[in-house]
Structures are given as structure tokens and as C-alpha cells.
Amino acid sequence: MRVTVIPAALYPRHFPVGYNRIFKYPIVDIFSFFSGAAEFTSPDQMTCVFVYGTLKKGQPNYYRMFDTTNGKAEFLASARTTERYPLVIATKYNIPFLLNIPGQGNQVHGEIYKVDEQMLKFLDDFEGVPEMYQRTLVKLEVKEWVGPAEGETPTPGSITEAFIYSTTTYDSDCLSLPMYENYDSYGKHGLEYDLKEIEDR
């Protein structure tokens, strides 16, 4: 099985002008650096992805995980990152961004799904890999595992690995924004994700 973790919201390969303030600089393709050490491929070509933003249950883009035209996905577990990361809400669309700065912010909570190659390709394209986001390996702490597992079912507190889509190019002002550990578009912050972000791509 290949293990992968994802952002928060899905982002297009080409961003509208509103994104320029956040992503100001060319992105270095670090995915190729990690891919050699992080490929866990089995004949069935299934991959685990960690969803921590608008793709989670109850969030605006959740339906995309089960749109069969995108591929197949199966919920496995709830989990959180073992390291802390800044998870902020930015741009006029109120998009959750995970900044690739280990050691800052909070342990980020989310959900692990098993997806097929078709869904993974859809997600990679939707995320703009590798130009805008990079898929990098991180460690996750299992909260509750409810799906099938290879071998013994992981117990709460056990550690697994997955990839995450994060960004290394951001305006310094992002670091002054509130940092969240469990994203909810409908939370008390009042910064509901704007679905027009999809239309404006």
C-alpha cells in the first residue's frame, strides 16, 4: 500500500490573482526528492491519504472523495500529525492552508482514506502537484481506526506514515494568522469556505 496525506482544501493547478499574496515565489519541486523513499506500492495500487480541511466529513468538498468519476475512496481512521504545523485560513475564499513548517502551530487533526490510482491522480491534479503543492511524507498518530487494515488493526496512539500536501511558499503575514488544530469551515472563526473558489479557478 502507498501511504499519502492531503491538505486541506483542494487547489487548482493555476490560481486566480487573489492567491498572489500568499504564493509569491516559485515553488521548488521537492516531491521528487521524497518519492524515492516514500513509495509503498502494492499490486492493487491503493494509497492512503490524510484529509484535514474541506475534504473531511461534513465539510464543503467532502463529496469529492466519493464522486466515482474521480475514483474510489474508503474511510479508514481518524488521526492527527505527530508534529505541529501551522494550519491557517487565508485568501478571500477562506481556504485552509497547511504551511510546511514543522514544529510550529498545532498537531493537525484529520481523516485517513484509502484511494485508488484514479482518485490519487485526480487529487494530485486538483492540488496542482508539484508546481503549487508537494506531496511529502509525515507521521500520523492514530485516534480511531475503523476501516480494514493490512495485518493487525492499528490501535489508538499507534504511529503510521502518510503523505501531506503542504506549501513552502507563503507571505510572512500568514504566520500572524490564527493557527488551528481541527479545521471546521463552519466554526466559530466565522471564516466559512467560499465555494466560488472552485468556480473562479
What CATH number should be reported for the domain holding residue 90?
Answer: 3.10.490.10
Whether 201 is covered by a domain: the verdict is: no
Q: Please name the helix (run of DSSP H) or strand (run of DSSP E) that holds residue 137, with its range, or none.
A: strand 134-145
What is the reported pLDDT for 44? 61
- Say if 200 falls within a structural domain: no
Q: Supply the pLDDT for residue 2.
A: 52
> For residue 99, is it within any domain?
yes
Total domains in the fold of the chain: 1
Q: What distances in angstroms separate CA 113 from CA 42, 92, 200, one per listed residue?
A: 16, 29, 28
With respect to residue 141, please indicate whether it lies within any of the assigned structural domains. yes
Find, among 3, 34, 42, 30, the residue nearest to 139 by Cα.
3
| Beta carbons of 111 and 57 less than 8 angstroms apart | yes
Q: Phi/psi of residue 115, each to 5°?
A: -125, 155
CB atoms within 10 A of CB 133: 28
**Which structural domain range is residue 126 located in?**
2-195
Taking the C-alpha atoms of residue 48 and residue 163, their distance in angstroms, rounded to an integer, is 8
pLDDT by residue for the chain (201 residues), tens digit each? 554 444 444 444 333 334 444 444 444 333 333 333 334 444 467 888 998 999 999 999 999 999 999 999 999 999 999 999 999 999 899 989 899 999 999 999 999 999 999 999 998 888 778 877 788 888 999 999 999 988 889 999 999 988 888 888 788 899 999 999 999 999 999 999 999 987 777
Question: Which residues are known catalytic residues?
Answer: 127
| pLDDT for residue 177 | 98
pLDDT at 7: 47
In a domain, 150, yes or no: yes
150 exposure class (CB count in 10 Å sphere: 0-12, 13-18, 19+): exposed
Query: How much is the pTM?
Result: 0.76
